[in-house]
């Protein structure tokens, strides 16, 4: 079993930056491909970014590509989401997720991920 705890959310003006962290415990972190999702009020959970087990493969949604960067440090058991040039439409609860250790590649669908954090709120004001 793996536990995920997000932090780093908050309120920022449009054009600003935030860095989300996700601390992972419970099993060797390098065993997991990871992902970030978000959910705005009244909407479904949306894929944001994913990183493979080694940390050298990435995927992003079109809406955040070139603005957000996902990274992981297997020694620190942490995955980050660096968010730049934030827009009001980025406002959402952001969730960290881990794939089953069997899978080494990035994921995309919520069903690709078996473990989830509790979420952290990001609010971008115009």
How does pLDDT run across 41-79, given as a tens digit for each residue?
999 999 999 999 999 999 999 999 999 999 999 888 899
pLDDT of res. 26? 78
Strands 46-51 and 78-83: unpaired
% of residues, the chain, pLDDT over 90? 85
Question: pLDDT at residue 39 above 90?
Answer: yes
| Residue 46 to residue 62: CA distance in whole angstroms | 12
Q: Which residues contact 30 (CB under 8 A, 6 or more apart)?
A: 53, 54, 74
Give, in order, the Cα–Cα distances in Å from 75 to each of 23, 54, 71, 72.
Answer: 11, 12, 12, 9
SS3 per-residue string spanning the chain? CCEEEEECCEEEECCCCEEEEEEEECCCHHHCCEEEEEECCCCCCEEEEEECCCCCCEEECCCCCCCEEEEEECCCCEEEEEECCCCHHHCEEEEEEEECCCCCCCCCCHHHEEEECCCEEEEEEC
Q: Is the pLDDT of residue 6 over 70?
A: yes
């Amino acid at each position: 079993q793996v536990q995920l705890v997000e932090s780093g959310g908050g309120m920022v003006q449009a054009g600003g930056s935030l860095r989300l962290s996700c601390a992972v415990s419970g099993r060797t972190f390098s065993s997991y491909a990871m992902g970030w999702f978000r959910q705005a009020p009244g909407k479904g959970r949306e894929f944001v970014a994913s990183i493979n087990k080694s940390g050298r493969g990435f995927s992003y949604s079109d809406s955040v590509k070139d603005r957000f960067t996902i990274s992981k440090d297997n020694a620190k058991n942490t995955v980050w989401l660096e968010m730049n040039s934030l827009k009001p439409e980025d406002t959402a609860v952001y969730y960290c997720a881990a794939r089953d250790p069997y899978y080494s590649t990035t994921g995309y669908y919520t069903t690709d991920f078996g473990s989830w954090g509790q979420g952290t709120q990001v609010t971008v004001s115009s």
